[in-house]
Structure 1
Amino acid sequence: MSIDFEKQLNPAQWQAVRAAHGPLLVIAGAGSGKTRTIAYRLAYLVRNGVAPENILLLTFTRKAAQEMLFRASSLIGQELGGVAGGTFHSFAGSILRRYASVLGYPDRFTIMDGPDMSEILGQVRAELGVGKGDKAFPKKKTILGLISKSRNKEVDLAMLLERESPHMLHYGDDMIRIARTYAEFKLRHGLMDYDDLLFNLERLLLERDDLAEFLRMRHSHVMVDEFQDTNKVQARLVRQLAGDGRGVMAVGDDAQSIYAFRGAEVRNILAFPDTFPNTTIVRLEENYRSVQPILELTNALLRNATTKFDKNLFSRRTDGLKPQLINTVSDQTQAKVVVDKILELSRSCRLRDIAVLFRAGYQSYPVEMLLNKIGLRFRKYGGLKFTDAAHVKDVLAYLRLIVNPADLPAWQRAVSHVKGMGPKTCNTFCQALLEGEQQKIARTTKKFPDVAAAFDLINALRHEKPAPTSALQRILEFYTPLFQDRYPDDYPRRQAGLDQLLQIASGFTDLDAFLAELTLESPEESREEDCDVEDHVVLSTVHSAKGLEWSAVLVIDLVNGRFPSRHAMENSEDLEEERRLLYVACTRARDYLGLFVPSSVYNRFMGGSEPALPSLFVSELPPSCYEELRENYLGQVKPRTPLPAREPRPFCNNPDTPSHSAPLPSPGAARHRNNTFGHCRHKIFGRGKIVEFLPPNRYRINFPGFGLKIIMVDFLSMEE
């Protein structure tokens, strides 16, 4: 029995499915049934006489292509195995298999995988004699990544290094030589990597007009999924394969273009109507995921985007909670508020239906610690768990040795980086330390000055017994040059983890307690096959969360410099991508959305916290689209209520008439009034000088690095 497609689809989906022959751009908002629409379009074309072999379907994953073809086949009861395509790379490979000799390749070339590429790059480096004996020289994986990024972004490798990896610029000439020789090696030996497939297909189509025309005639319908994620060469390939555009259909969402770091160009989808004149644009705006109050916020978020296709998402789920905007005292207290919210939400939904999303992997570290502390299972996607990061383990090894000089694994980690000290020597030295063999210790420390320096530092700290923050600062002064030498490729990125470690340490006065907190492990994670049985909270970067959804989503660190990132705030295009990134984060939520804005964040240069400005994206939101809550200094989170309007002071010429607008000083304020011009301490701002008493119960205080603040007496600790 034939299925009535129109009844199975909403009006916009049906319009996209049955659109007349010609260029078609489908702007598919988040949760709007994009895959369903493509599957129905495939089925509609075949049911109306288009042969499957005349359809080219280009996607970004093989799984996506298979799902669309399976759904379409189920709709019409006919296999669609004749449809060409799959991923851009697989399609390119299938064409090049037959015609690569035109480009100077042998009739049978080899497509390399990651290990092949790494091995060949190693051979090239060895032949050139580049970086020999230099441990700081970029690793093969790093060089391959930079070569690929420069090709996908189509920018010069030297320029890419200057923009994104300036700490490696002094190796730029060597890496350019390696890249050039690597390309020559591949051609000489009949090898292609993944990027070659795309660029070589483009070359082939440009050099062989007859082949390009044949492919255009064969594939009268070209369908491209996730068009917002195409890079420059992929967009040019679509243009070549689609010809005049009469049969081309691109589906995507400019507001979900978040992969510029891989070379994706949001301009490709924005320029589609210019590339293919007379384009029909269909907007899928009905959302099947989120409640309407969440969509009100995401629509408002996009309203200030500089370049976009206008869209207004709506849902039939009109009832629902407004998103919550939760202001916390600091990024450290934010973790507790987040965990409290998870526990609250877990009373009405499973843990696996709750996700904490963040801009960068290091931002979840305080949350991870608290979840471990209370034994709440979690899984993290995008970025290592805090205590799994190698550089964090390095620093913790020094701290562990202050507490326990017999900690053999810590000694092995602390001295393993020493130049010339192999595993055998390391083990011998560590054993000598444990057994108190002073002669062996003396010989080793004399031979290896770095070991002697580490030994002296640990001994000094054991004698002094400093607080965790002081101990860490001393260790990081010693460790920083070793850190930069040990992780030359990405130490700037890793630095954030060490900054976070310092911040966490600032909340402890006892080193044993600090280490105990850090080494508390979450319960053993279940085996992969059992992961659906065990309940766990999801922690994820926003990039890793794209395409997923949860009942409740909590987005943290929404302050300028973190989300958007400090780097993005210096470039308008990057800033707009950060806006899209937040849009993706918010549209993952079905029923609850929480946005967390800490009022202060840790700054390692100041050795403490500094005030933070709410993310400019949050500042742009109209207050009507969220419920605002605020954490007070007692750790309570309550709805923010507007301050009551102050009553006007009554006009009175009689000095004997009392003024009822001036309340009496509180007992606490009276006790502290004499402290004016003394000093006090505050939980967030540290030590400050009292400048003025403000009746009935406040002080004006000058905090170094923070400036003048007006704070209530109850939140201050007065110095005698």
Structure 2
Amino acid sequence: MDHIEYERHLNQAQLEAVQTLQGPVLVIAGAGSGKTRTVVYRLARLVENSVPPESILLLTFTRKAANEMLTRAAHLAGQGLHGVAGGTFHAFAFGMLRRFGQRLGYDQGVSIMDRSDAEGVVKQVREMEGVGKGDRSFPRKGAVLSLMSKARNKERDLEDILASEAGHLLPHAEGIQIIQRGYEAFKAKHGLLDYDDLLFKFETLLREHEDIRDFLVQRYSHLMIDEFQDTNLVQGRLVRLLSGPEANVMAVGDDAQSVYAFRGATVNNILQFTSDFPGTKVIKLEQNYRSTQPILELTNQILGQATAKYEKHLFSERIEGPKPQVVRPLSDMTQAQGVVDKIVELSRTTPLHDIAVLFRAGYQSYPLEVALNKLGIGYQKFGGMRFAESAHIKDFVAHLRLVANPADLPAWQRALSLLPGIGPKTCERIYEATLHGDEAYMRRTCKRVPELENTLTLLDNLRNSRLGVAPVIEQLLDYYRPHMEERYPDDYPKRQAGLEELAQIAAGYTKLEDFLADMSLDNPDPGSGHGVEEDKVVLSTIHSAKGLEWSAVLLIDLVEDRFPSRHALSRPDDMEEERRLMYVACTRARDFLGLYVPDTVYKRNQGSTPVLPSPFVQELPSSTYEEWREGYAGGFRRQQEPAPKPAAQRSVQDDAPVNSASTSQAQPSNGYCRHKIFGRGKILSFIPPNKYKVNFSGFGIKTMIADYLQMEES
């Protein structure tokens, strides 16, 4: 094997990680810092130092990642690495259970159910137990299975999961728990395992059979774990069980990119690694090969406010580049147009597929999708449904189409499918009777299906009224909501947010026909969903964007209740994950980063209401970005930075980071305060170190940083 010139291809930190082959090593790999290159070169280094490939265990989160690393390492080493055990945690666990399963009582071998099989068992158990019989609001088998899986991976009680993540399903908690017990009993009786069982049964094998654990510890002298920040509790325990007394284990990851708690991942695995493995050598990869230094200055500030973290400061040799922009549109509707204008501007020098718009939740891109469609700009969306493809949006728009055009047969078919007792043939007959005035048939059908008469009366009233687009939508929203809750019992709260966006978009129209025309201008080609397509802007949730990068990134809806989400505002751990999500989003950008912070957002029954900027934006020093504001007459103008104070007027507090001296003065209080937008509010609680939960009359409960509140003297 040729000698590999490590010094030539690696920076100093990467080289240190590659050359440290003994004992526990934790590599904190900042965004864009060459993590994969480091893993690949270390694999080659191990083999170069006479470690047999079959003694190396590489655990990753996708088979593709493991194969890529092994292929590159083999090419580098000039020899095959086929003996390396590389793959996912689940695949490795399955292999060990197949080999030693009889020690756990699986004498006939290990049978793994796929997702379809598991859903079939859930259905069978539900029917056998008579759970939710005749109750159309009971969650579907797939949703029940997902909830059980989430409880298993988070190692929390199922009812706790329902309370914190699916409160609308709490009335069904007892029934779901009955199914959970029956599901586990069914698997045990028939010797079946599902995907989640693989890790837990493998852990049982290692704990209860010391001889097997010792064999594997001796077999795999060197462990390497990729994306360690994404491991869950049982995966963390498996790493400890497999590491052995010498603990030649290298974990690679970034605590700042741990954003999958909803899947069961815990950032504590990487934060506690040095405690779990005494004597750990911590190596930080801080040189970024993706972004310009101005972008990294901003992302370092986001990370600097985290409460629990490994300190790091990303830097780049790409010193030059524009500062990130913080753009403040007047509303979330003008935000959509402002983003489109920026895309058009960027497209003069950047291919459309190298421009990405990122958002916290899928529904947040809906106004932007309509705006892109109107200009004929192609896009592809990752994470969340495209606006016009969402089933509940199609349901709702079908009713709007009937208000505008009674001869729209597809709209009749979609709208009437919501009603019990009306199939495709009856629908066509109703359509013909309506157009030809067959009152006798309509009377008979309405008598048989009372819900039909209510629907037709509503549509007639709306069609004959002279109401504007927004009032029509308001009435239809009230009509459709119970249908939506019955039709989509698993996730109707999330779908409701999409309908709120629809109402917001419609508020800008005076004619229903114009609104429907823009809605129908959706791209005819939804895309394959595999890879990035040429000449199409990328729209993506931040979770779906992890691991990717673009020349230009625009991040929208950076306001409280949207980013961070409403639920996270009251939970410190969730707020920390939202901060990490913000960091992930911003570090996707190579050359340009735009942060959009609308002054108002549309809320049903309230119209456009003032909102607070995301605390993650509020914390940013003004030196890290350019600020642009939309004027009342339209257009965005750059705001000039305030002149620095004369030295005599400056204080230590002026130079302190935002969360340091200035915010350390925040103290618990039970009185009242004032805010420049929300007015006077009652302080409900103090959230250390520097936030208050305040109830503002007319605006509800808000959580905000102390610097933005003026305390009233008692």
Q: Could you tell me whether the CA contact under 8 Å between 2:380 and 2:527 is conserved in 1?
A: no
Range with greater deviation from structure 2 (625-634 or 543-552):
625-634
- Counterpart Cα distance in 2 of 1:525 and 1:130: 39
The TM-score with structure 1 as length reference comes to 0.88
How much does 1:640 deviate? 0.8
How much does 1:202 deviate? 0.4
- Are residues 12 and 384 of structure 1, via their aligned partners in 2, closer, same or farther at CA, if it must alter by over 3 Å? same
Question: What is the CA deviation profile of residues 453-482 of structure 1, one whole-angstrom value per residue up to 9, with x for unaligned ones?
Answer: 110000011111310100011111111111
Partner of 1:592: 592
Question: What is the CA deviation profile of residues 332-389 of structure 1, one whole-angstrom value per residue up to 9, with x for unaligned ones?
Answer: 0000000000000000010000000000001001110010000000000000111111
The one-letter code of the counterpart of 2:572 is: S
1:662-673 mapped onto 2 (5 Å cutoff): none
The one-letter code of the counterpart of 1:641 is: Q
How much does 1:428 deviate? 2.5
- Counterpart Cα distance in 1 of 2:202 and 2:312: 35
Partner of 1:653: none
Partner of 2:157: 156
Partner of 1:165: 166
- Counterpart Cα distance in 1 of 2:368 and 2:270: 37
Partner of 1:554: 554
The one-letter code of the counterpart of 1:47 is: E
1:422-461 mapped onto 2 (5 Å cutoff): 422-461=423-462
Partner of 2:509: 508
How much does 1:132 deviate? 2.4
Partner of 1:619: 618
How much does 1:449 deviate? 1.4
Q: Number of matched residues?
A: 649
- Counterpart Cα distance in 2 of 1:475 and 1:85: 55
- Are residues 158 and 505 of structure 1, via their aligned partners in 2, closer, same or farther at CA, if it must alter by over 3 Å? same
Partner of 1:635: 634
How much does 1:394 deviate? 1.3
Q: Does the residue aligned with 2:23 lie in a helix, a strand or coil?
A: coil
- Are residues 345 and 75 of structure 1, via their aligned partners in 2, closer, same or farther at CA, if it must alter by over 3 Å? same
How much does 1:240 deviate? 0.3
Partner of 2:26: 25
Q: Could you tell me whether the CA contact under 8 Å between 1:245 and 1:276 is conserved in 2?
A: no
- Are residues 561 and 525 of structure 1, via their aligned partners in 2, closer, same or farther at CA, if it must alter by over 3 Å? closer
Partner of 1:226: 227
Q: Could you tell me whether the CA contact under 8 Å between 1:286 and 1:313 is conserved in 2?
A: yes
Q: Could you tell me whether the CA contact under 8 Å between 1:359 and 1:563 is conserved in 2?
A: yes
How much does 1:245 deviate? 5.1
Q: Could you tell me whether the CA contact under 8 Å between 1:369 and 1:517 is conserved in 2?
A: yes
The one-letter code of the counterpart of 2:600 is: S
Q: Does the residue aligned with 1:199 lie in a helix, a strand or coil?
A: helix
Q: Could you tell me whether the CA contact under 8 Å between 1:111 and 1:194 is conserved in 2?
A: yes
2:212 matches 1:207: no
- Counterpart Cα distance in 1 of 2:24 and 2:525: 53
Identical aligned residues as a percent: 57
Partner of 1:57: 58
Q: Does the residue aligned with 1:283 lie in a helix, a strand or coil?
A: strand
- Counterpart Cα distance in 1 of 2:55 and 2:96: 15
- Counterpart Cα distance in 1 of 2:527 and 2:390: 21
How much does 1:643 deviate? 7.5
Q: Could you tell me whether the CA contact under 8 Å between 2:294 and 2:322 is conserved in 1?
A: yes
Question: What is the CA deviation profile of residues 493-520 of structure 1, one whole-angstrom value per residue up to 9, with x for unaligned ones?
Answer: 1111111111111111111111111111
The one-letter code of the counterpart of 1:633 is: Y
2:576 matches 1:566: no
Partner of 1:128: 129
How much does 1:311 deviate? 0.5
The one-letter code of the counterpart of 2:6 is: F
The one-letter code of the counterpart of 2:439 is: Q
1:34-433 mapped onto 2 (5 Å cutoff): 34-244=35-245, 246-433=247-434
Q: Does the residue aligned with 2:597 lie in a helix, a strand or coil?
A: strand
The TM-score with structure 2 as length reference comes to 0.89
Calculate the aligned-residue CA RMSD, in Å: 1.8
The one-letter code of the counterpart of 1:442 is: R
Partner of 2:659: none
How much does 1:168 deviate? 1.0
- Are residues 432 and 35 of structure 1, via their aligned partners in 2, closer, same or farther at CA, if it must alter by over 3 Å? same
1:498-537 mapped onto 2 (5 Å cutoff): 498-525=499-526, 534-537=534-537
Q: Does the residue aligned with 2:251 lie in a helix, a strand or coil?
A: strand
How much does 1:706 deviate? 8.3
How much does 1:437 deviate? 1.7
Partner of 2:658: none
- Counterpart Cα distance in 2 of 1:528 and 1:361: 15
- Counterpart Cα distance in 2 of 1:189 and 1:527: 39
Q: Does the residue aligned with 1:598 lie in a helix, a strand or coil?
A: coil
Q: Could you tell me whether the CA contact under 8 Å between 1:17 and 1:38 is conserved in 2?
A: yes
- Are residues 162 and 526 of structure 1, via their aligned partners in 2, closer, same or farther at CA, if it must alter by over 3 Å? closer
Question: What is the CA deviation profile of residues 261-289 of structure 1, one whole-angstrom value per residue up to 9, with x for unaligned ones?
Answer: 00000000000000000100000000000
Q: Could you tell me whether the CA contact under 8 Å between 2:55 and 2:220 is conserved in 1?
A: yes
How much does 1:637 deviate? 0.6
- Are residues 643 and 109 of structure 1, via their aligned partners in 2, closer, same or farther at CA, if it must alter by over 3 Å? closer
How much does 1:644 deviate? 9.3
Q: Could you tell me whether the CA contact under 8 Å between 1:106 and 1:190 is conserved in 2?
A: no
Q: Does the residue aligned with 2:547 lie in a helix, a strand or coil?
A: coil
How much does 1:2 deviate? 2.3
- Counterpart Cα distance in 1 of 2:16 and 2:70: 20
- Counterpart Cα distance in 2 of 1:226 and 1:429: 58
Range with greater deviation from structure 2 (384-393 or 106-115):
106-115
- Are residues 532 and 246 of structure 1, via their aligned partners in 2, closer, same or farther at CA, if it must alter by over 3 Å? closer
Q: Does the residue aligned with 2:609 lie in a helix, a strand or coil?
A: strand
Q: Does the residue aligned with 1:194 lie in a helix, a strand or coil?
A: coil
- Counterpart Cα distance in 2 of 1:371 and 1:318: 33
Q: Could you tell me whether the CA contact under 8 Å between 1:353 and 1:550 is conserved in 2?
A: yes
How much does 1:596 deviate? 0.4
- Counterpart Cα distance in 1 of 2:526 and 2:417: 29
- Are residues 323 and 644 of structure 1, via their aligned partners in 2, closer, same or farther at CA, if it must alter by over 3 Å? closer
The gaps in structure 2 that reach 5 residues or longer are 645-676, 679-696, 701-714
The one-letter code of the counterpart of 1:565 is: S
The one-letter code of the counterpart of 2:490 is: D
Partner of 1:474: 475
- Counterpart Cα distance in 2 of 1:451 and 1:409: 17
Q: Could you tell me whether the CA contact under 8 Å between 2:21 and 2:46 is conserved in 1?
A: no
Q: Could you tell me whether the CA contact under 8 Å between 2:470 and 2:503 is conserved in 1?
A: yes
- Counterpart Cα distance in 1 of 2:525 and 2:43: 45
Q: Could you tell me whether the CA contact under 8 Å between 1:244 and 1:276 is conserved in 2?
A: no
How much does 1:20 deviate? 4.4
Q: Could you tell me whether the CA contact under 8 Å between 1:355 and 1:540 is conserved in 2?
A: yes
Q: Does the residue aligned with 2:196 lie in a helix, a strand or coil?
A: helix
- Counterpart Cα distance in 2 of 1:525 and 1:158: 38
Q: Could you tell me whether the CA contact under 8 Å between 2:67 and 2:86 is conserved in 1?
A: no
The one-letter code of the counterpart of 2:418 is: H
- Counterpart Cα distance in 2 of 1:429 and 1:237: 62
Q: Could you tell me whether the CA contact under 8 Å between 1:560 and 1:566 is conserved in 2?
A: yes
How much does 1:421 deviate? 2.6
